[in-house]
Amino acid sequence: MNKILAVIRREFVERVRTRSFLIGTFLVPLLGGIVGYLPAALSKRETATRTIAVLNDATGTVARRIDSVLSSQRIGEDSAPRYRVISIPAHGRMDVVRDSVIGLIGRREADGDAPVGLLILTDSGIESGKVSYLGSDVTSFRNMENLDHSLEPLVRDERLERRHADSALKVAASIRLDLQTQKVTEGKITGESGETSFLLAYIVDMFMYISLLLYGVQVMGSVVEEKTNRVVEVLVSSLTPFQLLLGKVIGVGATGLLQLGIWSFTGLYIARVLGGHSAATVMAGDTSQAGFHMPNVTPELVMIVLAFFLLGFLFYSGLYAAIGSMCNTAQEAQQAATPVTMIVVVGMITMFSLINEPSGSLAQILTFIPFFTPLVIPVRYAIAPLPLNEIVLGAGVMIAGILGVVWIGARIYRVGILSYGKKPSLRELWRWVRTA
């Protein structure tokens, strides 16, 4: 037991001491924060007033109202106006005027007053709702959305007015539908919206995927390293392969838990500090600043995630250790491990279809295949708590899988760590398993 502790301590201390661990542990959340925050922050930034030309060929006062609404918008509070509007009446020479204005858009040599875009108002456009905007800034998601939001009520009102609607009707017609989703689990309202629930499942999926792969591969690296350094022979003269393997797996697992813990902690902290400014909300078009609700992470979910991380890690590290022991160099091992890595990747991708149908037959089947169980159960649980018997059965399948993998893996490991030279064929591997 003390010997296993020594192996665990060595594995843990040497790993935590490396520069790559420090960088990985503290730089990853920082980079993650920057990647998440920067686009949001940058796309929020508006620097200068933009000039927009409005080419008016429509009857009535709609152009004037658009002019005044756009001109009154400001960048932030009490700062420069967002738009400078140049109204150009078409006077029946639509095409000619349009072409000459387009000629000015996006020209570098033009001074700051040159228009960035041209809005074309025609009666048919107002009736059909298809209003044209030609500009150099049409790729700006935020600019277009703002324009859209600003114009929509004005054009709608114009249509109503042309049909002589009274103001009460105009107000009634302007109310939009806003579908309010709330997740119900086990007959109780959880207070989560559908989006946060999806987000949570997605985060859990990525978390399991990254952690299984990352630390499984580390176990493999550690096995190969001892082989390439030829330390392994001294070690197996003092320790049984089982002690060595178990110590290694626990040591790497502990390092993994520490790192994941630090990541989760800083991740939660960053998410809280940034609040609604994350990239996800910008992508979702949530400009209302209503903010980003932290998904409801229950202690049960945390326990399920941790438990299945551990089970999955034991399962996959057994596989990776066996593969590492067959190989002579890190490169060789990486190649040999591709099938296993592919399985994890496939599992991670399959989860996306599973999120749409968390209780479908695919989900039911995958739950009980040990390769996928550690991904499926936490993801399904994140969407809706699973019945206890399914969790227990899943864990049982996992434990059976681990015993199988460890039984075969330890036998391959025992022979493999002392074999140098050519990688064994499948037939040789089978002989290792049988004779060891």
Partner 1 sequence: MEASAVVTVDRVTKRYAGHTAVRSLSLEVPRGGIFGLLGPNGAGKTTTIRMLLSIITPDEGRVQVLGQEGAGRELSGRIGYLPEERGLYPKMRVLDQLAFLGEAKGVSRWDARKRAKAWLERLGLSDWGLKKVSDLSKGMQQKVQFAGALQHDPELVILDEPFSGLDPVNSQVMRDVVVEFARSGRTVLFSTHIMEHAEKMCDRIAIIARGEKVVDGTMAEVKRQGGKTHVALGFTRNALAAKQVLADRSLVAQVDDAGASAEVGLAPGADPERLLKALVAADVGLSRFEVVEPSLQSIFIAKVGQEAARPVAQEVA
Binding residues vs partner 1 (CB under 8 A): 2-3, 6-7, 10, 13-14, 18, 225-226, 229-240, 418, 420-421, 428
CB of 218 to partner 1, least distance (A): 14
Instruction: Give whichever of 231 and 400 is closer to partner 1, judged by the CB atom.
Output: 231
CB of 408 to partner 1, least distance (A): 19
CB of 254 to partner 1, least distance (A): 17
CB of 78 to partner 1, least distance (A): 59
Place of tokens 């096995």: 223
CB of 416 to partner 1, least distance (A): 13
CB of 427 to partner 1, least distance (A): 11
Instruction: Give whichever of 239 and 305 is closer to partner 1, judged by the CB atom.
Output: 239
Using the 8-state DSSP alphabet, how is residue 277 labeled? Answer: G
Contact 416, 432 (CB under 8 A): yes
Place of tokens 């918008």: 73
Tokens of 249: 């797996």
Torsion (CA) 228, 436, 429, 218 in degrees, nearest 10? -40
Instruction: Give whichever of 229 and 288 is closer to partner 1, judged by the CB atom.
Output: 229
- Whole-angstrom distance, CA of residue 125 vs CA of residue 132: 8
Q: How far is residue 226 from each of residues 97, 217, 221, measured CA to CA in Å?
A: 77, 14, 9
Nearest alpha-carbon partner for 395 in 376, 379, 373: 373
Instruction: Give whichever of 239 and 311 is closer to partner 1, judged by the CB atom.
Output: 239
Instruction: Give whichever of 127 and 233 is closer to partner 1, judged by the CB atom.
Output: 233
- Whole-angstrom distance, CA of residue 127 vs CA of residue 133: 16
CB of 23 to partner 1, least distance (A): 15
Tokens of 82: 């967002």
Contact 423, 326 (CB under 8 A): yes
Instruction: Give whichever of 5 and 303 is closer to partner 1, judged by the CB atom.
Output: 5
CB of 247 to partner 1, least distance (A): 10
Instruction: Give whichever of 12 and 309 is closer to partner 1, judged by the CB atom.
Output: 12
- Whole-angstrom distance, CA of residue 119 vs CA of residue 88: 10
Helix (H) or strand (E) holding 333: helix 330-336
Residue 220 backbone dihedrals phi, psi, to 5 degrees: -60, -45
Q: What is the CB neighbour count within 10 angstroms for residue 245?
A: 26
CB of 406 to partner 1, least distance (A): 19
CB of 405 to partner 1, least distance (A): 24
Q: What is the CB neighbour count within 10 angstroms for residue 85?
A: 19
Nearest alpha-carbon partner for 364 in 332, 334, 333, 387: 387
Helix (H) or strand (E) holding 169: helix 167-173
- Whole-angstrom distance, CA of residue 180 vs CA of residue 171: 21
Instruction: Give whichever of 14 and 145 is closer to partner 1, judged by the CB atom.
Output: 14
- Whole-angstrom distance, CA of residue 417 vs CA of residue 407: 16
